[in-house]
Amino acid sequence: MRSPERQFNALTPDQERQNDAPKTPEVAAEKEPIAESEAGISYLGVTLEKAESTDSQFVPKREQYADFINDKEVALPLQRDVAVAFLSGEPLLVDGGTSLGKTTTVRKMASELGWEVHYANLNGATDVEDLMGRYIPNPHKSKPEDPEYIFADGKVTSGLRQEEGKVKVVILDEFNASAPNILIRLHEVLDALERGSEVVLSEDASEAVQVNKNKTKVIALMNPPGKGYFGREPLDPAQLRRWVYKKLPSELPEGTFSYATDALFGATPESQNITPDMFLAAREQALTPEQLQEIPGMSEVLEKYKEFHKASKELLKSRKVAEDQPQPFTYDDRMEPRRVRDFVLRFYNGDINETFQQALRYYYSNKLETDVDKKKLGELIRLVEYKPKVGESKRKGLEREEKTGAPETKRAATPEAKLEGPVAEQIEAAIEKLGRENVFGPQEVEKTFGVRLAEVPDVPLSIEELERAEKLGQMLVLRVDKTPDGKPMSMEAMNEILVKKWKKEGKGEIFNSADGWKNWIGEEFFTKEHPRLGWALVSKDVLPESLSKNYLEQTEVIIKTLKEKSFKDLELPEEYTEAIAEFESKKKKLAELMDSDWEEAAKQLAELKITQLTRQTIPETVYDLAMYHDKNNKRLLADTYSWTASLDPDGYLVILGMFGAKGVLGNRGEPDDRAGILGFSLARRL
């Protein structure tokens, strides 16, 4: 058997099998943290274009950064955040310790992009003329009529001058060691870049230099004032308002040191495995301000944002965050809203909640150093969201929203089921124990998929089972197997129902590419396989103890969970007793098959009674995710994968998860595969 350390990329079929099972981008397991194309470089999803002209002494040599180590704590997030600032044309100020590689990171990015670097160190010996330029003796004077002196550009001026096909980065190092007159002059430069106007060189007879923030990027770097750094004084918070301020650790994190040291000795890959939430993706074409108000929920999110901004300022004022940060800063009433708006215009991904919260993490959380402070602010960020309004139910207090999605002719043909008697009482009991947000009955089925049920099946759960389900973090879902017009509730059908509905409501997508899924899983499966009709208790996340385990080991976790949690002190139902006995009788043979014949092992594992009783199929996983997201506007399995009971056409066990604004991702694996983000959602069919 393979060792437990086998990484998730092993879930992709072996190289020799890949030609038989082509993947689309939607069903790929992982994205490269730094991806290069002919036209540009993507840093955790944020793409910067390469310069057209790279023949310059100011472009760093790329080979000098061949051993650069992309760790997930510092290097990769820093490159992403620098890329966001460069893409947006915003000046960025990075505050962090000397060993973090701030300057090296920017130079490395410039070397990849073919951008020029114009570097200036603002230590105490630097004056304004060093940055903007001065007259010097003419070294080229050869004739009497030649001028005695010529003007030589300083580092900043040379970075501001526009040249065809070139992009320039001005690095201002040791920014908080600079003299006050230098800061004043630099602020004039930043203001001109923001307006797209001219910088007047008083140093050169008032020459006017036209500037463009798309051609010149400005980044300032500094060490924390105090903290053992001589000559660094805190900047005036009012001066910081012109900059997007990012706080890095004062010292290299222990995990980064350990990873980087291992990488230097060849003990680890050059890039770590990272999670999808670290990625951003800019729009090909930014929205216009007029289009913002067309986004569903924008007015509600704006009101929540105003409350968040006020609360964040109060946290900062009362020193409940950033208490130990020596560099004071503010959450500016003018600049932050403008920056957040521009971020949404550029990065809106179809989910206004996710995009807005990404903006707040970038402009607000990035100013904080400690995880504790970021968590405090994160609790406020989480509240900045749009929730579709829910109308009052006229029956038993159940939530009921306006019905959408089903043809009126079909509605008329199918009389509405009356929620009364035992079924109504059972659903009410489930709501009381699990919470209204975790119960998905006939009303939710009709709202999400437009299916009106003539009969609602009983909910065969005792109060004790509901209490245990609540402790396990489960939700109760009524699954249907047919659409409003009687066709199978297939993946294709779910996509057709939800694509327009969610686009209108700003909820993103269930699949990024229906054709990609159809090609991967097979047209027959995609268009005909459907959820099994009936109620199910489904874990909202993978069970923690199921992570980093293969399929057989996960099945053992299922049985242990049933015995010790779901049915603790209760009689185990007969079908589970039989299913467990079947597994125990076949376990040894299955373990052997996983080594000798993984295809047969996968087939037999998928067919086990315990698998069929407790794991979701592909359509059931998609259905359950869609129901929860449609009602609560939140995505389950956002940063994990769950192993299903389904096989792909080549006999691999199918994995689903990483549900983001672009839809749910899929992968496949042999039964002996394992990964730290791969578990299972316990899904008991009732």
Domain shared by 464 and 495, yes or no:
yes
Residues 512 and 663 sit within 8 Å (Cβ to Cβ): yes
Residues 271 and 34 sit within 8 Å (Cβ to Cβ): yes
Residues 676 and 547 sit within 8 Å (Cβ to Cβ): yes
**How far from 586 is each of 109, 376, 589, 598, 682, CA to CA, in Å?**
55, 50, 5, 15, 21
Domain shared by 106 and 212, yes or no:
yes
Domain shared by 106 and 159, yes or no:
yes
What's the mean per-residue pLDDT of the chain? 88
Q: Tally the domains of the chain.
A: 3
Residue range 634-685, pLDDT digits in tens: 999 998 999 999 999 999 999 999 999 889 999 999 999 988 889 999 999 9
Which residue among 381, 397, 423 closes a domain?
A: 381
Residues 651 and 20 sit within 8 Å (Cβ to Cβ): no
CB-count exposure of residue 608 (10 Å: 0-12, 13-18, 19+): buried
Domain shared by 95 and 162, yes or no:
yes
**How far from 1 is each of 475, 550, 643, CA to CA, in Å?**
35, 10, 19
3-class SS of residue 173: strand
For the chain, which ranges sit under pLDDT 70? 1-31, 227-231, 268-273, 388-419
70, part of any domain: yes
Residue range 172-196, pLDDT digits in tens: 999 999 988 999 999 999 999 999 9
Q: Please report which helix (H) or strand (E) contains residue 442, including its range.
A: helix 442-449
Domain shared by 372 and 498, yes or no:
no
Q: Which pLDDT belongs to residue 296? A: 84
Give the domain range for residue 312: 297-381
19, part of any domain: no
What is the number of alpha carbons within 13 Å of residue 48 lying toward its C-beta? 30
3-class SS of residue 328: coil
Domain shared by 202 and 72, yes or no:
yes
129, part of any domain: yes
Domain shared by 483 and 621, yes or no:
yes
Domain shared by 362 and 258, yes or no:
no
Domain shared by 190 and 254, yes or no:
yes
Q: What is the DSSP string of 210-248?
A: E--TTTEEEEEEEPPSBTTBTT--PPPHHHHTTSEEEEP
Cα separation, 549 vs 449, in Å, equals: 35
Q: Which pLDDT belongs to residue 24? A: 34
164, part of any domain: yes
Residues 516 and 663 sit within 8 Å (Cβ to Cβ): no
333, part of any domain: yes
Domain shared by 415 and 321, yes or no:
no
391, part of any domain: no
Domain shared by 359 and 414, yes or no:
no
Domain shared by 308 and 269, yes or no:
no
Which residue among 328, 362, 381 closes a domain?
A: 381
